[in-house]
Structure 1
Amino acid sequence: MFFTYLRRELRRRRKAALVVASGLALGIALVIVVNSVSSGMGKAQDKVLQSLYGLGTDMTVTKAADPQEEGQAAGPRFRFDAREDGSDEEQSSDRVLVQGFETLASSTVAKVAAQDGVSNAVGGLSLQVVKVSGQFTRGKIQEQGQGPGGKIVIPQGGTVKGGGADFDVNTYSVFGTDVTEPELGPLTSSKITSGRTFTSSETNAKVVVADASYAKEKKLAVGDTVTIKGVKYEVIGIATPESGDAAANLYIPLEQAQTLSDSANKVTTIYVKATDSQRIDAVKSAIQNNISGTTVTTSADLADTVSGSLSTASDLATSVGKWLSIVVLAAAFLVAGLLTSSAVSRRVREFGTLKALGWRSGRVTRQVVGEAVVTGLVGGVLGIALGLAGAYVVTAISPTLQAELGGTGGATTGPGGGGGFAGGPGRQAAARTLDVALTAPVSVTTIALAVGLAVTGGLVAGAFGGWRASRLRPADALRRVE
């Protein structure tokens, strides 16, 4: 009887039911789109943060570089001497510099790993190589003559013309990675697209993995060799960043990086993975309290440094978007309730007759609430369809947002524009801009939320109407004409 009457009433009043369902559908669709876009913002920001120091890293531990004293040399010094034989052969010299941060003892990695709440910790050494190469050209004597014994003399008024020096400066970044711990560190943000990565036995091997962009620029391929400070390294793999820029131009085993930079048993960055994402703040405090002089940077700290259109859009989706969806949804619930209550008022004679036939107030109320819940579910279906369509449009368009990253945590800019960023290895610039494509993924949780809102909207509308219907008295209802 309940469902028969319910079906008949909804079919008879389908226009009014459709209006209520449409209002709820718009509110629910807006909630789905806003939540999906917010989720997309979160994933885009995760990609940006992943490009900074790699997948799986919850925080980094560094030590800020000491400020330079007055008169202290700001960069490396190069010295070239003229050839005794007068030849014009090319000369070159490399300087390998620790990049961005003060070094930490390798033993600090074990201390960090021993802290409560730390799942794993691995050290890395960020370097910058400055290579100066070129040649001197001897000048030529003009108006020269030949004196006694065949000696060349320059008569009065003779001059030396031409000659000079022509040198190029090339800088690139190198990162020493612990090959025994491949699951942490900046190399995890890249995918090996050619060749292979390091093996755990190559702790001191003369091998290198090159960033794809740098390899293309220098025409490097697997099997080629690169020379760093006179040492030849075989290219065993090409790594392509999955998002953003590469952490370094070249990656070599940590021990080799320590040898090249005369930094035995030293690291610049410690990458830390927590046992539980909920304990990151507690782990950060423990490291700072127990290991003095260190700076701990978490993903939340890095997120605060991300600006640009990504940050702006994220703020809009989080604040304006969510508040707007709440207001629209509340308005939809209110309108649905008022329309249902109004519909009950127009059905006074009907409900009065049913009560006169023996229907109790509770049964009348349940009938009204049932109709409202079904209407809410219809609105939920429509809202989910509209929300999925809106999320699909956003994903199909994939608007490009910019994430501007600024250096923090003691990062400095080295020769040639190299810099460090927030605990990560040397970058091409201390501040850079990444382009991130926005998507709007719809999760099962969002769909469940939409269904819950649909039922809630129906119950709210039913509560208005049920309360109105329960107050009707048969005698009063029968005296009124619909």
Structure 2
Amino acid sequence: MFGIYLKRELSRRKKAALVIALGLALGIALVITVNSVSAGMTQAQDKVLQSLYGLGTDMTVTKARTAPTSGSSGRPNFQFDAKSEDDDSTQSSDRVMTQGGQALASSLVAKVAAQQGVSSAVGALSLNVTKVDGSFTQGKAKSSTSGQSNQGGPGGSSGGSMPQVQGGGASFDVNSYSVGGVDVTDQDLGPLSTSKITSGRTFTAAETNAKLAVVGKSYAKENKYKVGSTFKISGTKYTVIGIATPDSSDSTTDVYLPLKQAQTLGDAKNKVTTIYVKATDSKQIDTVKATIQKNISGTTVTTSADLAETVSGSLSTASDLATSVGKWLSIAVLAAAFLVAALLTSSAVSRRVREFGTLKALGWPSRRVTRQVVGESMVNGLLGGALGIGLGLAAAYTVTAISPKLTAQLGSTGGGMGGGPGGGPGQQSAQNTMEIALSAPVSATTIALAVGLAVAGGLIAGAMGGWRASRMRPADALRSVS
């Protein structure tokens, strides 16, 4: 009886049912769209952090650089030998300095790895190499003869000469690039983990102190390096064994060396500037961060959430809209949809006075009338939910198909690996910018939320309409007869 009556009443009031369902559908579709775009923003932000900072992990441990001591500016200086040759003299000098933060003892890597909640930890050393090369040109001394006599003095002569230096000078070129020391025994974690070897190979676990190098794609193109090419840093020759291409954008690290070689170049034996940490549970990152900071004093632990706060540009603006304005807008529209559905259901009940009064006169109790109204509203709600899911999926698919480009900028950061979590005072300033294609993935959780909202909308509308219907008396039906 319930199903037959329900089907007949919904068929008889198709327009009213459709209006209620569409109102709920619009609110639900907006919620799905906002949630999907917000999830896309999160994915885009993760790509920015991984590619620009080379994080590729859960957190990093660094130590802020201390201020230079008196008499030491911390700036690079170059010294060239004086030569007396008459011809041009070519000079070249490399200045290798650690960058990012203050150097940490390599023993801290094992200590960090032993902390509760840490799955693994590796150390890396970030260096900056400034190369100055060029030549001095020696000037030529020439004498000029004066036409005046020099009389009256002993040994006087009729003329004198004044020597003059002509020509000469110097021409030098300055080139700066970043070098990353990689723990070759665990390359799944650390600065090289966010790049793919597109030519040649990477280091083997046995090449802990080999004079080999992997160079970034952009740096290799700029210097015309390929697999098998050689170059020198501070007089040490390195052979290129691989070309690394970053996953999402150009990496700020130009050259990767085995960690021990980088430590030798930077005069930082048994030192690292960044410790990359992988947590056992991604949901416990904040707890692990607090544990490391508590047990290893003087260090700074940086997570992806910390770095996300530094992202600016259109990605940040869109993310704010999706998470704040979008959230409140969807709540407002959804509340309005629920209210409209409830009012329309209540109004429909008011127009059915004779019907419900007659049913009560025939013996229907109030709870049965209420159940009938709630059942009709639930069907309207589920219909609205189905339409809303369809509209929401269509909107999310449209966003993904269009893939609007968003710009992400991360303010002043150090070059190379130190530019990310390892950044600290005294590092070089660089502006990292990249473009991200926005997508709108729809998760099962979002669909479940939409179904829940549809049921809730139906219940709210049915509750108001059922309450109105339960208050009707058989006498109301008689009064409505014209």
TM-score normalised by L of structure 2: 0.90
- Distance in 2 (alpha carbons) for counterparts of 1:221 and 1:49: 28
Q: 1:424 to 1:109 in 2, by over 3 A?
A: same
1:70 is displaced (CA, Å) by 4.2
Q: Which letter maps to 2:178?
A: S
Aligned partner of 2:61 in structure 1 is: 61
Q: How does 1:211-290 map to 2 (within 5 A)?
A: 211-290=216-295
Q: Deviations over 1:381-412 (max 9, x none)?
A: 221122122222222332222222134xxx76
Segment of structure 1 superposing worse, 283-292 or 51-60: 51-60
Partner of 2:323 in structure 1? 318
> Residue deviations 1:111-149, cap 9 Å, x none?
11111111111100000011111111222345699xxxx
**Deviation of residue 471 (structure 1)?**
1.8
**Equivalents in 2 of 1:307, 1:85: separation in Å?**
56
Counterparts of 1:75-474 in structure 2 under 5 Å?
Answer: 75-142=75-142, 156-407=161-412, 420-423=419-422, 429-474=429-474
- The separation in 1 between residues aligned to 2:100 and 2:302, in whole angstroms, is 15
Letter aligned with residue 289 of structure 1: K
1-structure distance, mates of 2:414, 2:344:
64
Q: Residue deviations 1:57-94, cap 9 Å, x none?
A: 21111111110234423422212224344342432111
Per the alignment, residue 157 of structure 2 pairs with none
Aligned partners of 2:61, 2:140: CA distance in 1, in Å? 58
- Partner AA of 2:108 in structure 1: T
- Give yes or no for contact 1:418–1:429 (8 Å, CA) kept in 2: no
State the alpha-carbon separation in 2 of the partners of residues 219 and 318 from structure 1: 45
Instruction: Count residues with an aligned counterpart.
Output: 467
Measure, in 2, the Cα distance between the counterparts of 1:312 and 1:439: 16
- Over the aligned positions, Cα root-mean-square deviation in angstroms equals 2.4
Q: 1:236 to 1:473 in 2, by over 3 A?
A: same
Contact 2:101 2:423 (8 Å CA) reproduced: no
The residue matched to 1:184 in structure 2 has which SS? coil
Cα distance in 2 for partners of 1:98, 1:54 equals 18
CA distance in 1, matches of 2:398, 2:417: 40
Cα deviations across residues 175-212 of structure 1 (Å, max 9, x unaligned)? 00101111211222222222222222221122211111
Q: Could you tell me how far apart the structure 1 residues matched to 2:124 and 2:447 are?
A: 43
- d(CA) in 2 for partners of 1:481, 1:96: 98
Match of 1:380, as an amino acid? G
Contact 1:421/1:427 (<8 A) preserved? no
Letter in 2 for 1:51: S
Matching residue's letter, 1:98: T
Give, in whole Å, the separation in 2 of the partners of 1:157 and 1:41: 76
- Cα distance in 2 for partners of 1:241, 1:463 equals 57
Aligned partners of 1:418 and 1:427 also within 8 Å: no
Per the alignment, in what secondary structure is the counterpart of residue 472 of structure 1?
coil
Aligned to 2:240, the other structure's residue is in SS state strand
* Worse overlay, 40-49 or 230-239: 230-239
Return the letter of the residue paired with 1:279: Q
* Compared CA separation, residues 338 and 375, structure 1 to 2 (3 A): same
Q: Is the 8 A contact 1:225 1:232 kept in 2?
A: yes
**TM-score, normalising length: structure 1:** 0.90
Name the SS for the 2:284 alignment partner. helix
Contact 1:269 / 1:424 at 8 angstroms: preserved in 2? no
Per-residue CA shift, 1:266-323, capped at 9, x if unaligned? 0001011112223222222222222222111122221222223222222221111111
Please, which runs of 5 or more residues in structure 2 have no aligned partner?
Answer: 146-159
Q: Which residue of 2 aligns with 1:46?
A: 46
Q: Name the CA distance, whole Å, in 2 between partners of 1:52 and 1:80.
A: 37
Stretch moving more, 464-473 or 320-329: 464-473
Letter in 2 for 1:402: T
Structure 2 CA distance for aligned equivalents of residues 434 and 69 of structure 1: 37
Question: SS at 2:384's partner residue?
Answer: helix
User: Any gaps of 5 or more consecutive residues in structure 1?
Assistant: 146-154
Q: Does the aligned pair in 2 maintain the 1:28–1:383 contact within 8 Å?
A: yes
Letter in 2 for 1:464: M
Return 227-236 or 253-262, whichever deviates more: 227-236
SS at match of 2:285: helix
Match of 2:23 in 1: 23
Distance 1:91 1:80 in 2: 7
Query: Residue 251 of structure 1: CA displacement?
Result: 0.9
Q: Output the amino acid matched with 1:422.
A: P
Over the matched positions of the two proteins, sequence identity in percent amounts to: 71
Deviation string for 1:418-443 (max 9, x for gaps)?
Answer: 97333269997444333222221111
Q: Does the CA contact (< 8 Å) of 1:122 and 1:271 recur in 2?
A: yes
Question: How far off its partner does 1:445 sit?
Answer: 1.2
Q: What is residue 148 of structure 1 aligned with on the other side?
A: none
Q: Which residue of 2 aligns with 1:481?
A: 481
Per-residue CA deviations over 1:193-240 (Å, capped at 9, x if unaligned) read: 222222222211222111111111112222222322222222222222
Distance 1:234 1:435, change over 3 A: same
33-42 or 84-93: which moved more?
84-93
Contact 1:247 1:427 in 2 (8 A): no
8 Å contact kept, 1:128–1:418: no
